[in-house]
A and B are shown apart, each in its own frame.
Chain A
Amino acid sequence: MDHHNDTHATEGTGRPIRFRVFRYKQGDRAPYFDEFTLEVAEETTVLDALTSIRNRLDPTLILRSSCFHASCGTCGMRVNDREVMACVTKVIDLKSSVVKVEPIANQALVADLVTDMVDFYAKFNAIGLALVRDSDWLPDAAEPAGIDSYNRFENCIECGLCLSACPIVASDPRYLGPAALAAAWRAVEEPRELDPEAVLRLTDDPQGSWRCHVAFECSEACPSNVDPAGKIMLLRRRQAAERLRSIFGGRHG
């Protein structure tokens, strides 16, 4: 976290931006916002600005980041009411002199901008998906067969932005949610050691694929083009087809 580059040119080009930063520490009665004013350069990202705030203005600001290129998924936040990766969001591009920064919504809060990802991973476990599949690290794993095309949905970076953006996750803690359902479809498409029928069965549930209400906010928020909403619809199409087959006595009936 001390990699912040302090050599940005600011004189002449710097723009003063007011950052309204969500604050909460365990034991606080309620969260609140702190305001910090910074001059930012053309290339300053939200993560740069927050790191600078922590380094120079308030060392108690808690945030989480690692890779700085939207690959690790740790710096997902709500910035001006939209879910973004702070590391690849330039402050100037927000086109606002006030920048509101909050942790992702609908998740348990640890402190300030850091949320607890336990619930995120629990949803994966609930449908029998391991986070790292055996063949991901077996050096002699066979090439996948029967795959039409490589989409980026394997590329879920587990940032939780989709859960923050989803209006149904907002009101229903039991809903499996977009991330786990997108991962479920991935397991159906390319099961490797998993049982796709079991995954289909476990997600064919009122709190599974059928709980989605087609707002597509998860796909809009996803920084990795996983398109969770699209994958939920593919799950449903498959599940609806299976049900029709079972009703009319087809192969899987």
Chain B
Amino acid sequence: MSEQSVERTAVERGAEGASTRRRGVIGWVDPRGRRLGGWAFILNRLTGLGILLYLSFHLVVLSLLARGPSAWDGFVSVAMSPVFLFFDVVLIFGLLAHGLNGIRVTLVGFGLVVDRQKAMFAALMVLGAIALIIAAIRIFEVG
């Protein structure tokens, strides 16, 4: 091994905190270098937060019912628009990914089928993808 260049250049002043180096929440979602289980973890965190957001939105929407038929009918016409239907598909993606991975997390988390966790994740996601496609077709048929 021999050096080709001897110049030394500081290229980046880091944003990391000086001495602790704990990655914080970035460590949850940084996809670099991740393997399948890590991707499952990221997916679960993000869909979990998404579902939480949806739930809040859902409750706000339901409160329209208390404001009479015209408020509700107004919302329903918006909800039938293609953009809104697309978000329905995104919602179903989140529910399927979170719920199906939840089955894996629960089984593995109690010490069951631990050494098959990757295969289980792949199989559940294939199942989810099929369900998502069927759901998307049905949603846009109705829409």
Tell me if A196 is interfacial: C-beta within 8 Å of chain B.
no
A98 CA / B115 CA spacing, docked (Å): 34
A38 CA / B2 CA spacing, docked (Å): 6
Question: What are the residues of chain A within 8 A of B32 when measuring CB–CB?
Answer: 81
A37 CA / B18 CA spacing, docked (Å): 26
Name A170's contact: one of B23, B33, B105 (CB within 8 Å).
B23
**Given known A-B contacts A31-B18, A109-B18, A236 and B25 have beta carbons under 8 A apart:** no
Name B25's contact: one of A36, A82, A171, A219 (CB within 8 Å).
A171
A89 CA / B41 CA spacing, docked (Å): 27
Question: What are the residues of chain B within 8 A of A105 when measuring CB–CB?
Answer: 21-23, 27
Are A32 and B13 in contact, with the CB atoms below 8 A? Answer: yes
Residue of A nearest to B5 (CB): A37
Chain A residues within 8 Å of B, Cβ to Cβ: 6, 8, 10, 14, 16, 20, 22-24, 26, 28-41, 44, 48-49, 52, 56-58, 78, 80-83, 103, 105-109, 115, 166-167, 169-171, 173, 212-217, 219-220, 229-230, 233-234, 236-238, 240
Tell me if B1 is interfacial: C-beta within 8 Å of chain A.
yes
A195 CA / B46 CA spacing, docked (Å): 40
Other A-B contacts than A52-B1, A236-B111, 9 sampled, CB-CB below 8 A, are A8-B1, A23-B10, A30-B16, A31-B14, A37-B7, A106-B27, A171-B28, A216-B117, A230-B114
**Given known A-B contacts A215-B41, A217-B35, A34 and B24 have beta carbons under 8 A apart:** no
Question: What are the residues of chain A within 8 A of B16 when measuring CB–CB?
Answer: 30-31
Are B3 and A215 in contact, with the CB atoms below 8 A? Answer: no
Are B13 and A30 in contact, with the CB atoms below 8 A? Answer: yes
A36 CA / B10 CA spacing, docked (Å): 10
B27 to chain A, nearest CB (A): 2
A122 to chain B, nearest CB (A): 15
Are B37 and A171 in contact, with the CB atoms below 8 A? Answer: no
Tell me if B4 is interfacial: C-beta within 8 Å of chain A.
yes
Question: What are the residues of chain B within 8 A of A212 when measuring CB–CB?
Answer: 109
Name A108's contact: one of B21, B36, B105, B110 (CB within 8 Å).
B21
Question: What are the residues of chain B within 8 A of A238 when measuring CB–CB?
Answer: 111
**Given known A-B contacts A34-B10, A214-B104, A233 and B2 have beta carbons under 8 A apart:** no
A181 to chain B, nearest CB (A): 13
Question: What are the residues of chain B within 8 A of A215 when measuring CB–CB?
Answer: 37-38, 40-41
Tell me if B141 is interfacial: C-beta within 8 Å of chain A.
no
Are A38 and B1 in contact, with the CB atoms below 8 A? Answer: yes
5 contacting pairs across A/B (C-beta < 8 A): A24-B14, A57-B6, A81-B32, A109-B19, A229-B37
Are B40 and A214 in contact, with the CB atoms below 8 A? Answer: yes
Are B10 and A33 in contact, with the CB atoms below 8 A? Answer: yes
Are B109 and A39 in contact, with the CB atoms below 8 A? Answer: no
Tell me if B53 is interfacial: C-beta within 8 Å of chain A.
no
A164 CA / B79 CA spacing, docked (Å): 45
**Given known A-B contacts A230-B114, A237-B111, A214 and B1 have beta carbons under 8 A apart:** no
Residue of A nearest to B23 (CB): A170
**Given known A-B contacts A38-B4, A213-B41, A214-B108, A233 and B14 have beta carbons under 8 A apart:** no
**Given known A-B contacts A39-B2, A40-B1, A49-B1, A57 and B8 have beta carbons under 8 A apart:** yes
Are A44 and B10 in contact, with the CB atoms below 8 A? Answer: no
Are B24 and A170 in contact, with the CB atoms below 8 A? Answer: yes
Are A14 and B1 in contact, with the CB atoms below 8 A? Answer: yes
Question: What are the residues of chain B within 8 A of A216 when measuring CB–CB?
Answer: 35-38, 117-118
Are A38 and B37 in contact, with the CB atoms below 8 A? Answer: no
Question: What are the residues of chain B within 8 A of A108 when measuring CB–CB?
Answer: 19-21
